[in-house]
Amino acid sequence: MAREIGIGVVGLGWMGRVHSSAYARMRERFPELGLRPRLIAAADPVAANQEAAVEQFGFERAVDSIDELLSDPAVEAVSICSPNVLHRDLAVAAAQAGKPFWIEKPMGTSAQQSREIHEAARAAGIATAVGFNYRHAPAVEHIRALVLSGRLGRITNIRCWLIADYASSPDGPLTWRYDRERAGSGVIGDLLSHGADLVQHVLSDRLSEVTADSGIFIADRPIPTKVGVGHGGFEVGDKRGPVGNEDWVAALGRTASGTRVTLESSRVARGHRSDYALEVFGTEGSARWSFTRMNEFEVQLGDGGLEHGYTTVLAGAGHGRYASFQPGPGIPMSFDDLKAVEGSLFLSDVAGGGSTAPNSADGLSAALVCEAVVDSAASRTWQPIPAVEGTTFEQPGEQRS
């Protein structure tokens, strides 16, 4: 018989709804885990979100605050999907209540807040997961396997960029995302944190230093008069306010083993909806992947003779967790599928005491990269990045070739 795990979700905006759907699909896609998530309660102060939680997503009840959710003994694990400014207090409260949590990135609005979250979770001895979903793409998992097996040779350099246009209109609303106090370092925490995690995960090697530049290209935005969900549904008035955090960033870095790293992120790149990509170069080959074509990747192994170029590979059953979703290669998976993978790893850790999901140590590591990037852009100098114990990208027993 499947073990039931009571679930609470905090924040029923876009990401809270994605988490809710991921839990609902888990029994269908990962029956081998023997786990059955039960959607107990959703906490959100917005009445429309409370109604959606019960009527659309099947929660047993909706409440106004996390206190009601955490005090319920039926809630055994929590998703934290609120705006960034609330992450620290909510995560620490969950840890102190002994509730394992799955939290969206960035964990906190600063590296200090992320450290406080990580230390609270470690003190409580609870399982954690952080929303670095792109590492779960089957193609990315296979590229990581190529790196760790040595098939690409010695890794010389890696490029990762996350370029988007969700903020490219100067008439887009001035939401919490553009406030440094409430959101942190703009596109650095929002998208570059994914890049930092992807690089460290694929290489199984931590970023040790960076130098960077950043910019705010849209200086002010209209103040919203109506709250939306996620990036949409807002209405604005005539008044405008200043943007307080970064629109664009680029960084050069080095890993602890000496691999060179290039990172870039933008939220204002017109024409790029979600151009997220990764390229890995080694002495014996290279590999590349793009989220815009998530279900395939390209590899080049050996000298190739006269036909020296990339081979396109369609993701299939031998790649990552593809077989949990589709029976044969070439059938697309989705963004929401990646979150279902993440949720399954989280609940597997909750039930079994392991650490297979990207955890709070990974979240802190990415936050420290982002902090170093911010400091470097301000000082125009190289900045060191402290190591973090307990990350999943440097699991014991994994050998670099």
pLDDT (tens digit per residue) in 316-352: 999 999 999 999 998 999 999 999 999 999 999 999 9
Number of domains in the chain: 2
- Does 127 share its domain with 148? no
Paired strand residues for 214: 249
- Does 106 share its domain with 192? no
- Mean pLDDT over 17-34 rounds to 96
- Does 106 share its domain with 146? no
Q: Is 307 exposed, middle or buried (0-12, 13-18, 19+ CB in 10 A)?
A: exposed
- Does 217 share its domain with 281? yes
pLDDT at 250 over 50: yes
- Looking up residue 80, the CATH number of its domain turns out to be 3.40.50.720
Task: Please tell me the predicted confidence (pLDDT) of residue 397.
Answer: 43
- Does 274 share its domain with 376? yes
238-267: buried (b, 16+ CB within 10 Å) or exposed (e) per residue?
A: eeeeebebbbbbbbebbbeeebebbbbbbb
- Does 158 share its domain with 244? yes
Separation CA 113–CA 191 (nearest Å): 18
- Tell whether 149 is covered by a domain: yes
Q: Find, among 97, 99, 119, the residue nearest to 108 by Cα.
A: 119
Separation CA 193–CA 363 (nearest Å): 9
- Tell whether 352 is covered by a domain: yes
Q: Find, among 165, 162, 243, 232, the residue nearest to 199 by Cα.
A: 162
Q: How confident is the model at residue 237 (pLDDT cuts 50, 70, 90)?
A: confident
Task: Please tell me the predicted confidence (pLDDT) of residue 229.
Answer: 56
Task: Please tell me the predicted confidence (pLDDT) of residue 103.
Answer: 98
Residue 401 structure tokens:
């070739």
- Does 227 share its domain with 110? no
Residue 137, CB half-sphere, CA atoms under 13 Å: how many? Answer: 28
At 239, is the secondary structure helix, strand, or coil? Answer: strand
Task: Please tell me the predicted confidence (pLDDT) of residue 232.
Answer: 58
Cβ–Cβ contacts within 10 Å for residue 153, how many?
A: 15
Please report, for residues 85, 188, 366, the alpha-carbon distance to residue 181 in angstroms, rounded to integers and kept in the order given.
7, 14, 19
Separation CA 28–CA 25 (nearest Å): 5
Task: Please tell me the predicted confidence (pLDDT) of residue 309.
Answer: 86
Q: Are 253 and 207 in contact (CB under 8 A)?
A: yes
At 258, is the secondary structure helix, strand, or coil? Answer: coil
Q: Which domain holds residue 346?
A: 137-384
Residue 271 structure tokens:
């024409």
With 0.85 as the threshold, say if the pTM is over it. yes
- Tell whether 365 is covered by a domain: yes
- Does 47 share its domain with 144? no
pLDDT at 121 over 80: yes
Please report, for residues 16, 42, 110, 117, 239, the alpha-carbon distance to residue 255 in angstroms, rounded to integers and kept in the order given.
34, 40, 22, 25, 45
pLDDT digits (tens, 9 = 90+) for 267-314: 999 999 999 999 999 999 999 999 999 999 999 998 666 667 899 999
- Does 374 share its domain with 292? yes
- Does 176 share its domain with 101? no
Please report, for residues 10, 135, 143, 179, the alpha-carbon distance to residue 102 in angstroms, rounded to integers and kept in the order given.
10, 16, 25, 24
- Does 225 share its domain with 371? yes
Backbone angles phi, psi at 299, to 5 degrees: -135, 150
- Does 128 share its domain with 207? no
Q: Are 231 and 173 in contact (CB under 8 A)?
A: no
Please report, for residues 113, 362, 395, the alpha-carbon distance to residue 355 in angstroms, rounded to integers and kept in the order given.
22, 11, 9
Q: Which of 117, 133, 149 is the last residue of a domain?
A: 133
